[in-house]
Structure 1
Amino acid sequence: MLGLIRQPPQDASKLEPKLRLIVEAVKRGISDEVQAELIAGIEDSGKTYKPTGVAMEAFRQMWRQLLPDFRILCLTESPAHAAMWYHYADQYRGVVLEFRCDDHADSAWLAAKPVSYPRDKPSVYTASGWAELLTLEKELALDRILDAATYTKSPDWSYENEWRITSFRRPTDTGPFTDRKFGVEELSAVYLGPNISEKYRETIIAIASSYPTLRLINVSVGMSREFEFTATGD
């Protein structure tokens, strides 16, 4: 906060209203004596204010309240990652759905944002980061918190190459998840897992007949232990 007094930003519109008034007053010009008093007051408050514990608990409480109404759809960039098949497709017995992003159809997939995997934890999880959030308007501060919580993960998860779409529970929804429809043209391919059962395969093939542009792709593991993809019927 001291930086806002010593070097006030050109644009103070995103700051918390009371702090914005102070910054604008500083920009218009105040005496060295008044500026010194402001800085001394902030420094004195900083000696007793410990934002981390209180702020983190406030974040956890907010997240617990928000979570039942929050919806996250997780996507990945490639159907060729063994760990993803193992963890998220029933150990190679499931399927992978491939969706087409259509600019002309106002596709919901266009809202997807990539997850980042920073080596350093986001600033909202640090004392200095929370101190900065306290200077912002509540809506903007909340957006930053949600963005960090939703679109960042530790580097250990970087192999997932994940993208996410977020939304909130609709008034008619029940339970912890939401079903949303997608257009027939948006589903471009279904990859049938290497260990898929014959019964499940037949069911998927029958459903696929309702999607005229859909590609059905068999997935197998070759001698090199890499996935091989062949269209059904080949």
Structure 2
Amino acid sequence: MNTASKHKLSKFYKYMSAEVAKKVLSTNTLRWSSPLLFNDPFDVPRELAKDMNIANMLAASSKLIEEAVLNFEAEISYLAQDFYKLVLGLRRIKYPEKEKPLHEIREGQIFQKIDDYLLEDERQNWYEMLPKMRILCLSARKNIIPMWYHYADKYQDVVLELNPYTHINSERPWPMIFPVEYPDSFPELFTEKGWGKLLISSPENRLNELITFSTFIKKPDWRYEEEYRLVRLEETKSFQQYSDDVFSEKIISKIYFGPEIEPRNREYLIKLILERFPHVKAYDMNFKFGWETQLERIICSIYYLNDII
């Protein structure tokens, strides 16, 4: 997928309410949600290729195949095996023998096995996949002010620092983490041309493109989130459309309290940290004049625990 380029981050951040943090720290679980629960209607499309025409898609497919035959420098590794072999074979043929097969390509005769049913199958497969999809959303930074406002309940709550690479679970290993992209231009799969390319792609490339397009691309409006995601599929569809997955304790390295957090929530969370995650460092997050953030380390010890019990 396009997002497979390696990133250099090792720590990521999860913005959450104090109540959610209590559950996370008391149960060692993080919630992975189906996109059906997301509040942004543009995040992860619910329907693929809506209002698009298969004939227009296949016309785009024909043009791509023809261009690949005529341009030896054109990238063809994404093609399904039959189309890949077709292009390589036609590249070896010289004119005028090449004209007839090119005409058949322009007329769409090579797409006899591709029709409305294939597109409907793709839509149906996607419809069935959505409830099984599980996404864990993280951020690249701990001090994104709009994130503190929207996802940490107006600075009243917390941010956890996580290192996904310390998660060790042979029964359910975590998938790779990839950055979300915020392109200024329209993604190809919002167009019939983009779908024309998808229809002639190999099954592996087709799935990668669909996952990238649907889960790792968002409108530029959300760029401030600096989001990273982990995506996996449940084997069976669940009515609740989310999974609370157990994680390794060492995955959490720090906790940051918002400047408006209620004292009782702060004290309860510190108690949980001392009892269950003694290696975790705690900080108070404050916003200074001049758009700066300030961190103040909280010295947690057994004596502190005795004071708040």
Q: When the two structures are superposed, what TM-score results if normalisation uses the length of structure 1?
A: 0.82
2:290 is equivalent to residue 227 of structure 1 = no
Q: Which moved further from structure 2: 123-132 or 10-19?
A: 10-19
Taking the aligned partners of 2:70 and 2:94, their CA distance within structure 1 comes to 12
Change (3 A) 1:30 1:151: same
Change (3 A) 1:4 1:102: closer
Taking the aligned partners of 1:44 and 1:6, their CA distance within structure 2 comes to 16
Corresponding position of 1:95: 158
* Aligned-pair CA distance for 1:62: 4.1
Corresponding position of 2:98: 35
1:147 partner letter: T
1:3 corresponds, among 31, 51, 67, to 67
Taking the aligned partners of 1:106 and 1:30, their CA distance within structure 2 comes to 54
2:238 is equivalent to residue 167 of structure 1 = no
Q: Which moved further from structure 2: 222-231 or 156-165?
A: 222-231
Taking the aligned partners of 1:227 and 1:56, their CA distance within structure 2 comes to 50
Change (3 A) 1:16 1:109: closer
Corresponding position of 1:113: 178
* Aligned-pair CA distance for 1:94: 1.6
Taking the aligned partners of 1:109 and 1:96, their CA distance within structure 2 comes to 21
The one of the two structures with greater contact order (alpha-carbon pairs below 8 A, sep at least 6) is: 2
2:146 is equivalent to residue 80 of structure 1 = no
Corresponding position of 1:138: 203
- Are the aligned partners of 2:166 and 2:248 in contact in 1 as well (CA < 8 Å)? no
1:77 partner letter: A
> How many corresponding residue pairs?
228
- Are the aligned partners of 1:12 and 1:24 in contact in 2 as well (CA < 8 Å)? no
Taking the aligned partners of 1:202 and 1:179, their CA distance within structure 2 comes to 25
Taking the aligned partners of 1:141 and 1:222, their CA distance within structure 2 comes to 48
2:281 is equivalent to residue 205 of structure 1 = no
2:217 is equivalent to residue 152 of structure 1 = yes
1:212 partner letter: P
* Aligned-pair CA distance for 1:20: 2.6
* Aligned-pair CA distance for 1:191: 0.7
1:96 partner letter: V
Change (3 A) 1:70 1:102: closer
Indicate the RMSD between aligned Cα atoms, in angstroms.
3.3
**Pairs within 5 Å for 1:174-193:** 175-193=240-258
2:240 partner letter: G
Q: When the two structures are superposed, what TM-score results if normalisation uses the length of structure 2?
A: 0.64
Corresponding position of 2:90: 26
- Identity level (%): 28
* Aligned-pair CA distance for 1:17: 3.1
Match of 2:243, SS?
A: coil
* Aligned-pair CA distance for 1:128: 2.1
Change (3 A) 1:56 1:135: closer
* Aligned-pair CA distance for 1:166: 0.5
Corresponding position of 2:58: none
Change (3 A) 1:220 1:12: closer
Write the deviation string for residues 167-212 of structure 1: whole angstroms up to 9, x where unpaired.
1125596521111222222200111111111221122111101112
- Are the aligned partners of 2:179 and 2:227 in contact in 1 as well (CA < 8 Å)? yes
Structure 1 unaligned spans of 5+: none
Taking the aligned partners of 1:213 and 1:173, their CA distance within structure 2 comes to 35
2:280 is equivalent to residue 214 of structure 1 = yes
Taking the aligned partners of 2:237 and 2:194, their CA distance within structure 1 comes to 37
Change (3 A) 1:192 1:170: farther
* Aligned-pair CA distance for 1:19: 1.6
